[in-house]
Structures are given as structure tokens and as C-alpha cells.
């Protein structure tokens, strides 16, 4: 790689840290989830660059752990999996009427269809490709996001069956998505389950014979066996994460560790204001460590004065405002020097914070934390 190429590459990532990914954890999490939901197959969702863990390595590890399907959002992601030599079933979870459907059909990628307009475009693409499209019809059972509503579902099913009879598509799946599976006892869960049952019954009575019916995300895979049907679709769980209260069960292991290093360490007197706005003021003479990561690198500004890192032997709370490319931690009188490691989050083995703790501290979820970091930092694998 030329110097110019290296500079062009490093200009878009944080060169001071890494997102270290434990592929064995992904493999073992997949195997554990498959054993847990042993009455159903398992689709490992590897969208968003594998939740920031790297789509191709994550997919390979998940397949090694027993996944029989992979889930992505865009056709481009599915094509990248195919070009990496992955032949497992892949479903594009987004109903995108403008997607390159013919290319997906040619690569044997399954497509989500939740609207008549998309169905027409997929059918036309199949006609051009000279082979039937594999489609999963999506029902909106109460999330009000993608999919056909109860009012629109019969027309979608009828049109899909007509296209199937003409040889332009195969209805390979019927599916929907739960809005509140991570909120135990929420009344929407049984309501959506019943609505999905009605949608499946209508489609099957009309003549649909899908290979798989699927509804369960990570939270439902962990806690709601009545939602498993033929296939479960864990996303965060594959990476040792979940959005249930209290985080993932102990038998799931977080796969990512985000670590960087101090680029400067210095002593300052009592009363020193730290970072923008002087939100933090030192109470005594102390040592400050400068961490070369900020909101441009995926560390949320809302982590200011809230989130913890592990540095100089113990946890430290971020001191003051997170800047665009850096933040500061107060190290007290402990020994530290430039180059010392700083761990933002990891599996917690050595007492470091976890992505779950970061999410709770920031009022968000661990998924946002790992994707923000993982999609921008260089990754290493073991």
C-alpha cells in the first residue's frame, strides 16, 4: 500500500484505538442461542457491518456456530457476503422498492416484500433475470414500521400467489417484527403474536407454503418461546448483547472490546477547569489523561461526566465534555503515562465497563454503543 493510500485510509478511522472482536464468542453465542431455541432454526443478523463487529468475520463465525440463515438490510450487504464465498441463505430485511432486485435474484438472495409496489418491481426483476425471486412477505402486526397492515395483507398475499403461479417468485417466508419483546409483560407482545398468527393463517389458507415463518428477535429468542415458529432472528445476542432489562444472560459473552491509549498525561493544580465549558473542575492537584477519541469516533457527547472507562488500574469517569476527537479522565495521584491503555468497554472480565453499562449510563442501548465505535474504529480479531 502506498503512503498516499495509507493516508487516505487512516483519514477516516481512529488510528489511536481498536475494536478487538472475539470471534470465538460470536461462534459460541450463536451455538448457545441455537441450543436455547432448539425447536427452531437460527438466522444470525449481521446488518450494520455485523453490529460494528465486521460483517464477513461475524457471519463466518455465526455460521460456524450453527446459524443456517443470515440477515442483512441492503442488497449490497448480501452481495458482499456472496462475494466473500458465503453460500448460506441470506435475507434482506428491508423492503426497498428501488433495490437492485435482479442482482439479488441472480445471487439467490431472499428479498423482503411488504407492499404491492415492491412486489411488482421484484416480479419484473425476476422476469428479466429469468428465474423466480425468493421472497418473504412481511406483515405489519403492530409495530407500524415495515410490512403490510391487516387491511393490505390479503391483497399482497393474493398478488404474490399470482406471481408465484406465473413462475416469477417463490414465497419462501412469512414474517413480522416485535416492537416490545424486551419489555416483559407488555400487552403488545401477545397482540402482535395473535396478529401474526392470523396473517400466517390467511396466507396459508390462500395457498402459501413458506419454508419458514419467523417473528422472534434477540429478546424474544431469549424469553418468548411462543414466538419462535420455524426460525429465530437474534441480532445483538449473536454479539453477546441484548436490550432486556439487566442486559444479556451470563451465558452470552460480549464479543467486542474497545481500547485506546493516553496520548498525554499531565499534572494540574486544584481548581483547573477541564474541557469545553469547564463542566468539570479539579478539586485537588491531580493527574489528567488525554484520550484520543470523541464524538467523531463514535464516543457520544452525552458520555460527558457520565460514562466510565478503565485506566491506570481502575474505573474512571469521563471528566468534563467529550470533544470531537478527545476526552479527559481524572487519574488522581495514580501512576500513569502517555501510551498506557484505556479500555472503554469490554466483556467485563477484568473489571472494565461493558457496553451494557455504557448504554444504561447514557440512556440508550448497547447496540448503539458498539455500532458507533465498531463501524469507525479499526478492528482486530482473535
Task: Please list the active-site residues.
Answer: 47, 276
Dist CA 237 CA 222 (whole Å): 9
List the beta strands (DSSP E) in the chain. Answer: 18-21, 41-45, 69-72, 89-92, 110-113, 133-138, 169-175, 212-216, 231-232, 256-261, 264-268, 273-274, 280-281, 286-291, 308-311, 314-319, 327-332, 341-345, 379-381
DSSP state of 148: B
Does residue 103 contact residue 79 with C-beta atoms inside 8 Å?
Answer: yes
Range 185-189, long-range pairs (CB < 8 A, 24+ positions): 188/142, 189/220, 189/224, 189/227
The distance of Cα 280 from the centroid of its chain, to the nearest Å, equals 33
Cell of 117: 409496489
Q: Is the dihedral of CA 212, 213, 217, 221 positive or negative?
A: negative
Angle between the N-to-C axes of helices 23-36 and 55-64, in degrees from 0 to 180, rounded to the nearest 10: 50
Which H or E run includes 219? helix 218-223
Q: Nearest 10 degrees: CA dihedral of 232, 238, 244, 249?
A: 110
Amino acid at each position: 500500500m502506498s503512503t498516499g493510500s495509507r493516508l487516505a485510509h487512516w483519514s477516516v478511522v481512529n488510528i489511536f484505538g481498536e475494536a478487538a472482536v472475539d470471534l470465538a464468542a460470536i461462534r459460541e453465542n450463536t451455538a448457545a442461542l441455537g441450543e436455547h431455541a432448539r425447536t427452531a432454526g437460527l438466522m444470525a443478523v449481521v446488518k450494520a457491518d455485523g453490529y460494528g463487529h465486521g460483517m464477513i468475520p461475524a457471519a463466518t463465525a455465526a455460521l460456524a456456530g450453527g446459524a443456517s440463515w443470515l440477515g442483512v438490510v441492503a442488497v449490497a450487504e448480501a452481495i458482499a457476503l456472496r462475494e466473500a464465498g458465503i453460500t448460506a441463505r441470506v435475507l434482506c430485511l428491508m423492503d426497498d422498492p428501488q433495490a437492485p432486485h435482479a442482482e439479488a435474484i441472480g445471487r439467490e438472495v431472499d428479498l423482503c416484500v411488504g407492499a404491492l409496489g415492491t412486489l411488482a418491481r421484484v416480479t419484473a426483476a425476476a422476469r428479466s433475470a429469468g428465474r423466480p425471486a425468493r421472497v418473504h412477505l412481511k406483515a405489519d402486526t403492530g409495530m407500524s414500521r415495515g410490512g403490510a397492515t391487516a387491511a393490505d395483507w390479503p391483497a399482497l398475499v393474493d398478488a404474490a400467489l399470482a406471481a408465484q403461479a406465473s413462475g416469477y417468485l417463490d414465497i419462501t417466508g412469512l414474517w413480522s417484527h416485535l416492537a416490545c419483546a424486551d419489555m416483559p409483560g407488555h400487552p403488545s407482545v401477545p397482540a402482535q403474536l395473535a396478529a401474526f398468527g392470523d396473517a400466517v393463517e390467511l396466507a396459508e389458507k390462500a395457498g402459501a407454503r413458506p419454508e419458514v415463518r419467523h417473528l422472534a428477535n434477540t429478546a424474544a429468542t431469549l424469553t418468548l418461546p411462543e414466538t419462535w415458529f420455524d426460525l429465530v432472528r437474534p441480532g445483538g445476542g449473536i454479539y453477546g448483547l441484548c436490550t432486556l432489562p439487566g442486559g444479556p444472560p451470563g451465558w452470552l459473552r460480549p464479543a467486542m472490546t474497545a481500547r485506546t491509549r493516553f496520548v498525554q498525561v499531565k499534572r494540574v493544580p486544584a481548581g483547573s477547569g477541564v474541557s469545553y465549558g469547564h463542566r468539570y473542575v479539579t478539586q485537588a492537584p491531580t493527574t489528567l489523561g488525554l484520550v484520543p477519541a470523541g464524538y467523531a469516533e463514535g464516543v457520544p457527547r452525552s458520555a460527558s461526566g457520565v460514562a466510565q472507562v478503565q485506566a491506570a488500574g481502575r474505573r474512571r469517569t469521563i471528566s468534563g465534555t467529550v470533544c470531537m476527537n478527545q476526552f479527559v479522565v481524572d487519574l488522581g495521584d495514580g501512576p500513569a503515562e502517555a501510551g498506557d491503555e484505556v479500555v472503554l468497554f469490554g466483556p467485563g472480565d477484568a473489571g472494565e465497563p461493558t457496553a451494557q453499562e455504557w448504554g444504561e449510563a447514557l440512556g440508550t442501548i448497547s447496540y448503539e454503543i458498539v455500532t458507533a465505535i465498531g463501524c469507525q474504529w479499526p478492528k482486530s480479531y482473535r
